[in-house]
Structures are given as C-alpha cells and as structure tokens.
C-alpha cells in the first residue's frame, strides 16, 4: 500500500473535493481515509471516481451538530445531508465505513513511556536545571483536552441523540456505543501523547545551527508550528516499525512555487515511511539482533530498510530541484541515508539528533554534521527572531490534524519480492 496524497480542507473547498481536483480519475480503486464522515458534496464525486473504500473518523457532522443544535435550519440541512449520504452509500460500489480499530491493550502505556524519552523532551529537561518532571504530564493533559474537544462529544447522551438525528440509531445500542466511545478515546489519547512529545516550550524548536547558505526560500526554515506538526506525523509513523528496539519514522513534504487550492497551503505530500524489513517478508526471514551481538551475521543492519529509504522509495511525487522539499525524521539520518537524501535533491532535513556523531559497528552517524548544501534543523533551545513565515503563520493556522477534514488516499501497489 502506498499513500498517494494527504489533503486538508481550505476555506473554499472540502478535503474530498481537493482530492478530486488533485488526483481525478487516478482515485479509481484507491482507499480514502477521512477525519469526518464525507458530506454528500464530496461523496457523490468520490464514488463516481471509482474509489474502492472510504473510511472515516465518526466525529463529524456530530460535533458540528452539537454546537448548532439550537439552530433548526442547520439541523434540518444536516439531516437531509445525512440521508443523502446514506443513499449515495447504499447505491455505490464503494464501501463506506467507520474506521476505528481497537488498539492493542498496552499501546497507550507504551506510547506514553517511550514519548517521555524522546529527544525533544530530553533536551528541554537537560536545559532546565529546575525542570519540573511533571512538565510532560502537563503538556499531555493540555493536548488531551484540546483533542477531546476536537474529536469527541463529551456527553454520552448528547452523542446518542445526535447519532439518532442523523439516522445512525444502530450505533446507539450497547456494546456498539460503548465500544465506539472507548476506541475513540484511546485513539485520541495516542494522538495527544505523541503530539505532547514535541511540545511548545520556551524558545525550543527546530533551528539550524549554521548560517543560512543563501537567501533562497528553499533553505529558509518552516514556521515552528508546521515543523512540529510534521515531526509528530513522523513520530506516529515510527510506531509502525518492524525493528523491535528502535522505531524511526520519516515524512517528506514539498512546497509548490504557486499556492493553489490545497488546504495545506502550498505544501504537498511526497512520501513517508518507517524502518522495516523488505516488503512481504516474514518475521523469521531476517535477523533482528543489534550491535551487542558478537556474531555479525545475525545482526539486523544489512536487512532493515531505513525510514528515509522507504519514504524515498514509496514516494508518490517527484522531488523537484526548484522547490522547497523537506524530510522530517525522528532520528539523526545515518551515513547510508545522508547521501541518499542529498542525492534525491531534498533541500531541508528536520531531524532528531540522537546518535549524531556516533560510529557503531554496523551503523554510523558521522556524515550528518559534515553534510553541506542541505539545510539541517535540529531541536534547539536558542532564542531566534521569528521568521517571516512564522509571523504570517500567526494569522493562518495551518494545522493538518486540527483541520475539520483531513484525507489520506492509499493505493494498492504490487511489490515484488
């Protein structure tokens, strides 16, 4: 499976409409993932394009109806739309379903434990002698509150009533209703926990240690809020790793010269990946051991494909030489990946610098510091003057997760082993 697009709604267009404009009939046989149930305006076009499945997070239109319940016009429009969506759904070949996979029971705890050990939190901790150990907990609580208000209906009864209003009575019976709420809460916890591991704190952010090589925009740093957001995406990917010790995630974005209709501004998704063994292999096909094993033959390093390597391999767009292209990696790129990133023409690297400058037996991280011609942004607590982008960004909150409609499109791909 390859992700071929990631879009969010703009002022004028819904995410589904943007997907149509961007991909047209290439959507045929693709799977689409929405952060809300698509409305009839989007759904009619999408089913017509021949998509194979549409999965959605079941929080909207419910959440919008919650705040607009007192307005009879909106409620009756929403009812009409919900009916139209159900009719489009039942007369279409595409499968439209709620996407709420229950998490394995230890997942939330595992993510909570590992998130506190990540470099961003560790750097803040080191730089603050009077560091309050509850800082991470406080950040997490804040994110949980924020995400709950965006993605959940707090009151059970209100939730039930809204589901009935839009014709989803079948979801109101138990155990479906309590399972639905529990699965939603768990996923919100995971999202909030990972987001809290890249917190807003003092002047900490992703900064370059070197003077900018040129004034060209393709080397200028992104607004911190966007950089943090993309790093959270990479962190989420890292949890999909097949390396049982070290998970790494990478995501590549680029910026078009001209701003088009996309709700992500001029940014467009290029590719993403995490460290894993060759596609289609079984657990026992390759060794899983690390440097601590004396026998080098049973170490993982010659087999595992790095997050950046997978992001480059399974990308859906070309990397254009005149555009600001950037890769976000949760760990320092190693010596195998640094020349690949530079060779692919990527202009900026946002990375954690854990292990930078280290030479291990089978993997080394020496080339990152010496790399020239690619701008590097690592976690830093140095006070910087705000970039122009940052200032402009204050008024235009680009936040992919926060947006009402986020859309992933995946395409089945054939892989040869």
Ligand X SMILES: Nc1ccn([C@H]2C[C@H](O)[C@@H](COP(=O)(O)OP(=O)(O)OP(=O)(O)O)O2)c(=O)n1
Residues known to be catalytic: 308
40-48 vs 72-90: helix axis angle to the nearest 10? 20
Q: How far apart are the first and last CA of the chain?
A: 14
Minimum Å distance from CB 141 to ligand X? 30
Minimum Å distance from CB 311 to ligand X? 10
The C-alpha atoms of residue 108 and residue 16 are separated, in whole angstroms, by 30
Minimum Å distance from CB 19 to ligand X? 29
Of 60 and 243, the one with the shorter C-beta distance to ligand X is 243
Contact (CB, 8 A) for 209 and 201? no
From the number of C-beta atoms within 10 Å of its C-beta (0-12, 13-18, 19+), residue 295 rates as exposed
**3-state DSSP call for residue 378?**
strand
Contact (CB, 8 A) for 206 and 379? yes
Minimum Å distance from CB 380 to ligand X? 19
The C-alpha atoms of residue 368 and residue 334 are separated, in whole angstroms, by 7
Angle (nearest 5°) at CA 324 between 322 and 329? 135
Of 191 and 248, the one with the shorter C-beta distance to ligand X is 248
DSSP string, 3-61: EEEEEE--SS--HHHHHHHHHGGGGTT-EEEESSPPPHHHHHHHHHTT-SEEEE-TTTT
The C-alpha atoms of residue 325 and residue 296 are separated, in whole angstroms, by 37
Of 147 and 301, the one with the shorter C-beta distance to ligand X is 301
Minimum Å distance from CB 369 to ligand X? 14
Of 4 and 248, the one with the shorter C-beta distance to ligand X is 248
Footprint on this chain of ligand X (rule: CB under 6 A): 243, 245-246, 248, 275, 290-291, 304, 306-308, 329, 331-334, 337, 355, 360, 363
Of 68 and 336, the one with the shorter C-beta distance to ligand X is 336
Provide the Cα torsion 195, 198, 199, 201; round to 10°: -170
Of 19 and 198, the one with the shorter C-beta distance to ligand X is 198
């Amino acid at each position: 499976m390859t992700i071929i697009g990631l879009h969010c709604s703009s002022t004028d267009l819904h995410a589904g409409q943007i997907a149509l404009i961007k991909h047209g009939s290439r959507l045929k046989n693709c799977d689409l993932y929405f952060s809300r149930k698509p409305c009839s305006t989007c759904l009619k076009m999408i089913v017509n394009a021949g998509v194979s499945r549409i999965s959605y997070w079941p929080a909207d239109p419910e959440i919008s109806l919650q705040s607009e319940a007192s307005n009879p016009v909106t409620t009756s429009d929403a009812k009409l739309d919900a009916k139209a969506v159900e009719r489009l759904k039942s007369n279409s070949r595409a499968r439209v379903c709620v996407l709420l996979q229950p998490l394995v029971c230890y997942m939330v705890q595992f993510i909570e434990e590992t998130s506190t050990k990540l470099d961003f939190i560790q750097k803040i901790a080191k730089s603050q002698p009077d560091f309050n150990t509850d800082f991470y907990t406080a950040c997490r609580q804040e994110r949980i509150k924020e995400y709950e208000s965006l993605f959940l209906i707090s009151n059970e009864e209100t939730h039930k009533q809204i589901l009935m209003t839009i014709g989803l009575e079948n979801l109101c019976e138990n155990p479906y209703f309590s399972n639905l709420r529990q699965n939603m809460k768990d996923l919100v916890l995971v999202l909030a926990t990972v987001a809290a591991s890249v917190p807003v704190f003092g002047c900490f952010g992703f900064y370059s240690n070197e003077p900018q090589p040129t004034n060209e925009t393709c080397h200028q740093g992104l607004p911190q809020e966007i950089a943090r957001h993309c790093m959270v995406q990479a962190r989420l990917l890292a949890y999909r790793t097949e390396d049982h010790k070290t998970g790494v995630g990478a995501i590549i974005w680029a910026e078009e010269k001209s701003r088009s209709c996309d709700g992500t501004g001029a940014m467009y998704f290029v590719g993403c990946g995490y460290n894993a063994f060759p596609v289609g292999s079984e657990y026992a096909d390759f060794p899983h051991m690390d440097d601590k094993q004396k026998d080098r033959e049973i170490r993982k390093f010659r087999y595992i494909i790095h997050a950046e390597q997978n992001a480059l391999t399974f990308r859906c767009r070309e990397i254009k030489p005149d555009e600001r292209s950037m890769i976000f990696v949760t760990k320092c790129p190693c010596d195998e990946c640094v020349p690949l990133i530079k060779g692919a023409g990527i202009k900026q690297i946002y990375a954690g610098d854990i292990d930078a400058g280290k030479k291990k037996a089978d993997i080394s991280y020496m080339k990152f510091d010496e790399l020239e011609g690619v701008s590097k942004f690592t976690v830093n607590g140095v006070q910087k003057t705000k970039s122009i982008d940052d200032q402009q960004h204050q008024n235009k909150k680009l936040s992919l997760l926060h947006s009402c409609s986020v859309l992933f499109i995946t395409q089945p791909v054939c892989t040869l082993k």
